[in-house]
């Protein structure tokens, strides 16, 4: 018996596989963090690199130091965007699996053969979120799914397990 997906999750059965996914959205208020991150990043770039351009003098120490601020700003903005409007989906077609995690079409993809997966284990949780480790027959991590709220993660885990032949669940069940 299939359960209905919770709000923000979906399952599409296909003749040669399936697509399963969920949004990572936690709060639209995180878009305010995106705006703050962009403002902060622009200010840092202007202070560090703009000053060098205005003086027409290159400072290698300030430039390298500025790269840390740029990397931090990009990481902060990416994290806020993922929390506000991100998604995670798993597509399995003709034995080939793809896991996508990102915003729109920008993100990370992991590709592997679906037949490699032997078990599903919960990943460590934080702040009400958890993840899944998809493990191969030798116990190595083939793929990781993270960033979903508990109800969406439970749905994804149960559907993946239902589509996985010869799989075993970690001792104690998936999340119970």
Query: Do 96 and 14 belong to one domain?
Result: yes
Q: Is 134 in a helix, a strand, or coil?
A: strand
Alpha-carbon gap, residue 144 to 134, rounded angstroms: 6
Please name every residue paired with 20 in a beta bridge, in sequence order, or none if there are none. 11, 90
Query: Do 158 and 119 belong to one domain?
Result: yes
Q: What is the pTM of this model?
A: 0.78
Domain region containing 45: 30-83
Q: Is residue 44 part of a domain?
A: yes
Q: How high is the mean pLDDT of the chain?
A: 85
| pLDDT in the model for residue 23 | 92
Alpha-carbon gap, residue 7 to 28, rounded angstroms: 15
* Predicted confidence (pLDDT) at residue 5 exceeds the cutoff of 80: yes
- Total structural domains within the chain: 2
Query: Do 92 and 79 belong to one domain?
Result: no
CATH of the domain at 120: 2.30.29
Query: Do 54 and 122 belong to one domain?
Result: no
* Predicted confidence (pLDDT) at residue 88 exceeds the cutoff of 90: yes
pLDDT in tens, 31-72: 889 999 999 999 989 988 998 999 999 999 988 989 998 999
Query: Do 18 and 91 belong to one domain?
Result: yes
Query: Do 103 and 47 belong to one domain?
Result: no
Query: Do 15 and 56 belong to one domain?
Result: no
Query: Do 59 and 123 belong to one domain?
Result: no
pLDDT in tens, 107-161: 999 999 998 888 888 887 666 567 888 888 888 888 888 888 888 988 898 888 8
Query: Do 57 and 105 belong to one domain?
Result: no
Q: Is residue 175 part of a domain?
A: no
User: How many other CB atoms are there within 10 angstroms of residue 135's CB atom?
Assistant: 20
Query: Do 115 and 75 belong to one domain?
Result: no
Token output for 65: 């130091």
């Amino acid at each position: 018996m299939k359960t209905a997906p919770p709000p923000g999750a979906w399952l599409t059965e296909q003749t040669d596989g399936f697509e399963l996914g969920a949004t990572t959205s936690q709060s639209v208020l995180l878009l305010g963090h995106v705006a703050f991150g962009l403002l902060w990043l622009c200010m840092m770039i202007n202070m560090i690199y703009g000053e060098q351009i205005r003086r027409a003098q290159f400072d290698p120490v300030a430039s390298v130091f500025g790269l840390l601020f740029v990397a931090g700003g990009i990481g902060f903005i990416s994290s806020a965007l993922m929390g506000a409007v991100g998604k995670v989906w798993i597509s399995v077609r003709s034995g080939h699996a793809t896991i996508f995690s990102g915003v729109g079409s920008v993100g990370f993809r992991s590709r592997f053969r679906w037949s490699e997966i032997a078990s599903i284990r919960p990943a460590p949780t934080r702040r009400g979120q958890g993840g899944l480790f998809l493990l191969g027959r030798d116990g190595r991590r083939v793929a990781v799914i993270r960033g979903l709220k508990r109800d969406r993660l439970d749905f994804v885990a149960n559907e993946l397990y239902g589509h996985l032949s010869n799989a075993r669940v970690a001792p104690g069940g998936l999340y119970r």
